[in-house]
A and B are shown apart, each in its own frame.
Chain A
Amino acid sequence: MLAAFRPGWLRAPPTLNDLPAIAAATLIGAPVLAACLGGLLFGGGMAWDQVVETRLWFYLSSTLGVLLLCAALVLAAAVPAAWLVSAFDFPGRPILDWALVVPLAAPGYVIAYAYADLLGVAGPFQSAIRDVTGLAARDFWFPDVYSVPGCAFVLAACLYPYVYLSARAAFTTQSVCALEAARSLGAGPTRAFWQVALPGARPAIAAGLSLALMEAAADYGAADFLGVPTLTVGLVRTWASFGDAAAAARLSVFLIAIALAFQWLERRGRGQGGVQASSIRWRAQERVRLRGLTAIGASLFCLTVLATGFLVPVARLVWIAIEQRASVAPLSDALWNSVLLAGMGAAFAFVLAVIIALGARHRKIGARLGQIAASAGYSVPGAVLAVGGLMVLSILPLSLTGGTAIALLVWIYASRFTAAGAGPMEAALMRAPASLGHAARSLGAGPLRQAWSVDRPIALSGAAIGALILFVETLKELPATLMLRPFNWDTLAVRAHAYASDERLAAAAAPSLLITLAGLGPILILCRQLARARPGGQ
């Protein structure tokens, strides 16, 4: 997602051209900084000692546990699926190709509600086992979804598309020549995968994984519902039960540190994975047609991934909604609010993302700052940013009502999600050789002209993808919306959460499904964009 680290930007002092990027960086970073400063300014509260003494280890170990397990599950599901879909032909492949992205439409907390119900003691699986065997719940072991592995599973189920998307793009845009060379040298598909395709796709996979893990680290809804004490959950509890601002802000510093670690890892991955395509001749890769058991195996694998991430949990929610005769009529206001807020948030974040992505192309100091700020914002729970924003608001001083509240919310959305929008644009820009830009400059094009004539067409596909991701992410956002929305501005996410925390899963099913539906449209467009953006795509 982020451009390779180049110390070159240090040598060039900031110029006027850096101003937009510096402004974007300031906007994005301000809530994070305000929250951190709040922690430092107000000193260590009483609760901090207690948190360190009794909770910090739990928070850290469950966060690391969730992230590690989630990373393993995401990689195990997404990379093989992407490779199968890219390199082979098998039954269902054309549909699975885009359908595997669909879980992006469902927020983690929605998947958590569904799996808590499905795998819970009163759920269909455990009930069936009891009915068939005549055993009681205590007589047999069943995986506990209210646990670190359970939470990692749920998050992996809905976050794997980040890695699938980036890996799929990388496998497809790899020069076919390298793969054909490998094959002509006698490497079978497996060996070609491990020795040619995978090393080449590693930077993209790392980028996708870092996005997925930042999302996982910032998740509040799923971890809270499943009772897993991650840092994010702990931070929110420290606020609510101890009322200790400083201690909470200090916990958020840990989360920011985790995010920066991901960035570093990602950059390292990119640096080492420097497999440069020597040829810029693209040709559609011939997919190998699979037959017999291998074909069925490939179909089944991809279908299982899709079913786990989307079909099964969503079908369960649909079932609950029907069984409970849930009505969507009371939710029409919330639906409208969700779409409106997500539209505004995504639009603002998009502008910032464009500024950063274009700046990064030219390795400007402002854009570098913007990337750092965006990554920090992306990895921090919405609640932290909201509080940071409120602190800025109170200095101004304004009160949290009406238009001010909406403006603040839109700002926080941008601070939180710009990284997700900038990523695809940067990736699109990076695929083009730098010599294009050099050529433009040697022909006398200024930075603006270059942005319009050279970068814009290249970035366009990435920009469309970025905009769609921004919209869907904002639509799913929960904690900041919960805190900052003005009167009578409930969104679907807010209603789903309210019902679920009241232990009324049946009532939560309808708004959960509506969020998923509202996100599904943009995701499907996104799939089409992706198919088009591919070399050889129609």
Chain B
Amino acid sequence: MRIPALFAAIVALSACSGDAPPDETSADAGVLNVYSARHYDSDRLLYAAFEEETGIRVRVRETSAPQLLETMKAEGERSPADLVIASDAGALYRFQEAGLTQDSSSERLNEVIPERFRDPDGHWYGLAKRIRLIAYDPERVSPDQVDEYTDLADPALEGEVCIRSGSNIYNLSLMGELIERAGAEAASSWADAVVSNFARAPQGGDTAQIEAVAAGECSVALVNHYYWVRVATNASSDRRAIAEATALSFPSFGDAGTHVNVTGAAVAANAPNKEAAIAFIEFLTTPEGQRFLTMETKEFPLVEGVPLPEGLETLPAFEESDLQLTVLGARQSEAQSVFLNAGWD
């Protein structure tokens, strides 16, 4: 749930009210306070493995990224947060933009994480990859009709497109890349054309779009890969049938590959235990850390040589876009206004 930012007001209030000493923040080196926007049971295994390896106790606050952001703003210098974990480079950018992160460069991190998946100043590091692709109905749409993101604007797909809200961070980040590659004007007319292709007003999450394609409510949908994989590997055969009724396309931006985004981590600006936070990010880049990070989410491990989580091996090879992901954050507000102007609610 995205909740409050009236918090911002509290920051102003607390600034003039004299700060009390932090009463339960982890001044001791034995505790790591994690603010995570993820909600996976497998993350508990991850924390337990880190605790076992380092003896550092992990305490977690899980909520949506916007809420974590507002909480940290409100807590200001008294924030107990050491580390933020959030999905989407655009979300990590918001923390950086608000001054809530700090340089946490380490040799190990800079070595194993490719440059385009991290902030050049070390304010955040990508740790697992997610791909935004097109799920389509193979009986109504041919693969070459959906091999580029711009195809979604094709008048031939009028009344065939299902996509979630334009305020969703996944769409904002995709739009960021489109603006970067094609320019704001072209991106704007693309958005207008896609809106006129909508089969229905944006509703539900990515899974709901896949279901709509399978049910024949529309024939193309834009979704993150792991939602499809989770349906395809579901315990129920009814659910698996939904994925089986759809095909996947890994669209490109012209000759640049498929839109890639990351789940990543950032060390909090006022981290009481910065060292443990960096140690934890480094742990996430080990084969064990990568495995726990991706086993339930079905994201792609970002570190080379780490085996894929179950279910991903069936996906075909594809070409990744080479975009430096800091662009997604920098283009975010532009992307939001493109969607607003297009009436893509």
Contact = CB atoms under 8 A, between A and B. Distances in A.
Interface of A: 35, 38, 41-42, 116, 120-122, 126-127, 130, 136-139, 146, 220-221, 224, 227, 236-237, 239-246, 248-249, 323-325, 330, 383-384, 386-388, 390-391, 393-402, 404, 478-479, 482-483, 485-488, 490, 494-495, 497-499, 501-504, 506-507
Contact of B215 (A122, A246, A391, A499): A122
B13 to A, nearest CB: 5
B186 interface: no
B1 A220 contact: yes
Interface in B280-324: none
A391 B4 CA distance: 12
Contacts of A486: 24
Nearest to B61: A487
B204 A245 contact: no
Contacts of A401: 22-25, 80
Contacts of A393: 10
Given A402-B24, A478-B1, A502-B39, A391 B75 contact: no
Nearest to B98: A243
A325 B236 CA distance: 10
Contacts of B67: 240, 482-483
B217 interface: yes
Given A488-B60, A498-B62, A483 B9 contact: no
Given A395-B13, A397-B19, A239 B5 contact: yes
Interface in B19-64: 19-20, 22-25, 33, 39, 41, 44, 59-64
B8 interface: yes
A498 B43 CA distance: 14
A137 B215 contact: yes
B66 A398 contact: no
Nearest to A505: B207
A501 B64 contact: yes
Nearest to A121: B215
Contact of A243 (B14, B63, B70): B70
B59 A241 contact: no
B166 to A, nearest CB: 11
A138 B1 contact: no
Interface string B82-105: 000000000000000000000000
A116 B64 CA distance: 21
Which 6 A-B pairs give the minimum distances between C-beta atoms? A136-B216, A240-B2, A122-B211, A498-B39, A401-B24, A137-B217
Nearest to A221: B1
A240 B4 contact: yes
Contact of A487 (B9, B59, B218): B59
24 contacts: A35-B6, A41-B9, A121-B211, A121-B217, A127-B215, A136-B216, A137-B217, A220-B1, A239-B2, A239-B5, A239-B6, A239-B70, A240-B64, A246-B9, A248-B5, A330-B41, A390-B6, A397-B14, A399-B24, A401-B22, A479-B3, A483-B67, A494-B62, A507-B41
A482 B66 CA distance: 12
Nearest to A490: B62
A390 B211 contact: no
Contacts of B236: 323-324
Nearest to A58: B345
A399 B75 contact: yes
A294 B126 CA distance: 67
B211 A399 contact: no
Nearest to A242: B5
A504 B230 CA distance: 9
Nearest to B205: A503
Contact of B235 (A241, A325, A404): A325
Nearest to A35: B6
Given A239-B2, A487-B60, 10 more contacts: A38-B6, A121-B211, A240-B64, A330-B41, A383-B4, A384-B6, A397-B19, A397-B20, A478-B1, A482-B63
B178 interface: no
B8 A245 contact: yes
A322 B4 CA distance: 36
A236 B23 contact: no
A114 to B, nearest CB: 15
A479 B1 contact: yes
Q: Main SS of the interface on chain A? A: helix
B206 interface: yes
Contacts, number: 188
B167 interface: yes
A398 B5 contact: no
Contacts of B218: 138
B215 A243 contact: no
B127 interface: no
A324 B44 CA distance: 20
A341 to B, nearest CB: 16
A386 B4 CA distance: 9
B71 interface: yes
Contacts of A330: 41, 44
Nearest to A480: B3
A166 B25 CA distance: 48
Contacts of B71: 400, 483
B3 to A, nearest CB: 5
Contacts of A482: 1, 3, 63, 67
B34 to A, nearest CB: 9
A245 B207 CA distance: 32
Contact of B33 (A41, A241, A323, A487): A487
Contacts of B193: none
Contacts of A42: 9, 12
A486 B14 CA distance: 19
A237 B227 CA distance: 24
A390 B76 CA distance: 13
A404 B23 contact: yes
Contacts of B141: none
A450 B18 CA distance: 47
Contact of B6 (A126, A391, A402, A490): A391
Given A324-B235, A398-B20, A391 B10 contact: yes
A231 to B, nearest CB: 15
Contact of A146 (B5, B22, B44, B203): B203
Contacts of B1: 220-221, 224, 236, 478-479, 482, 497, 501
A138 B1 CA distance: 31
B330 interface: no
B25 A383 contact: no
A120 B205 CA distance: 12
B113 interface: no
A137 B212 contact: yes
Contacts of B24: 399, 401-402, 486
A280 to B, nearest CB: 50
B217 A243 contact: no
B14 A394 contact: yes
A506 B63 CA distance: 19
A396 B71 CA distance: 18
B212 A248 contact: no
Contacts of B7: 239, 245, 387, 390
Interface centre among B25, B39, B75 (most CB of A within 10 A): B39
Nearest to A495: B39
B74 A390 contact: yes
